[in-house]
Amino acid sequence: GAVVSQHPSRVICKSGTSVKIECRSLDFQATTMFWYRQFPKQSLMLMATSNEGSKATYEQGVEKDKFLINHASLTLSTLTVTSAHPEDSSFYICSAPGSRTTEAFFGQGTRLTVV
Amino acid sequence: GQNIDQPTEMTATEGAIVQINCTYQTSGFNGLFWYQQHAGEAPTFLSYNVLDGLEEKGRFSSFLSRSKGYSYLLLKELQMKDSASYLCAVLDSNYQLIWGAGTKLIIKP
């Protein structure tokens, strides 16, 4: 099946710094990438939808200036958490729709800890 | 609003059978997914149902009733490695995935 590679898998950063998370589609072109956040014992919460070559669409309540999304190519989407705070500590996962308009292919996830 | 309900936690015995239920109320329906998620990892696709009935895939089967807004995931011959969270997700009319909170399945020897 299709592979989405997400890096880093774990990152610890100091409060106030920025962290970039990358998601690459390895064997297919992803015009769309979904970015999720998952807090412990909770479900996936869609943060934003990135579209290659255009601005991302953010879900209500998600700060655009804090979570910067760039989808500059058909194989790479990035999420930058700017001026991170401890409450941003979470599990961030990207996913891309597959060749069918059905199954989503997930990255491995990034565990972000802000200290 | 859109809502997906599934039990928070279930416990089963190794070698047994377990059924995880999911009920949903969404704006439109373009299919229902089951994903398996081990702690600290991303979800892994298990099954997709868009028509009523049972889809069997090895030890795992998934059932859908669109009229009842209901699905279940059936796991047979349980193994310890099946201990994980099982997420039910519905593709709504806008082709957005609406996620349930997940069911944590604990397998005991």
Buried (b) or exposed (e) across B27-64, using 16+ Cβ within 10 A?
eeebbbbbbbbeeebbbebbbbbeeeeeeeeeebbbbb
pLDDT lower than 70: segments of chain B:
none
Q: What is the pLDDT of residue A14?
A: 96
Q: For position A35, what pLDDT does the model report?
A: 95
pLDDT at B40: 81
Q: What is the pLDDT of residue B2?
A: 82
For the stretch A52-82, pLDDT in tens is: 888 899 999 999 999 999 998 889 999 999 9
Q: What is the pLDDT of residue A99?
A: 54
Q: What is the pLDDT of residue B24?
A: 97
Please give the Cα distance from B54 to B31 (Å, whole number).
13
| Residue of B41, B45, B102 lying closest to A103 (CB–CB) | B45
Neighbour count for residue A86 (Cβ, 10 Å): 9
CA A90 to CA A107: how far, in whole Å?
15
State whether A103 and B87 contact (CB < 8 Å).
no
**pLDDT at position A100, please?**
52
CB contact under 8 A, B48 and A44: no
Place of tokens 């953010």: A58
**Gap from B38 CA to chain A (nearest CA, Å):** 11
Residues from B contacting A (CB-CB < 8 Å) are 30-31, 33, 40-45, 48, 50, 87, 91, 95-97, 99-102
pLDDT at res. B85: 94
Ranges of residues in chain A with a pLDDT under 50 are: 101
Amino acid at B24: Y
Tens digits of residue pLDDT in B36-60:
999 888 888 899 899 999 999 899 9
- How far apart are the C-alpha atoms of B9 and B26, rounded to whole Å? 23
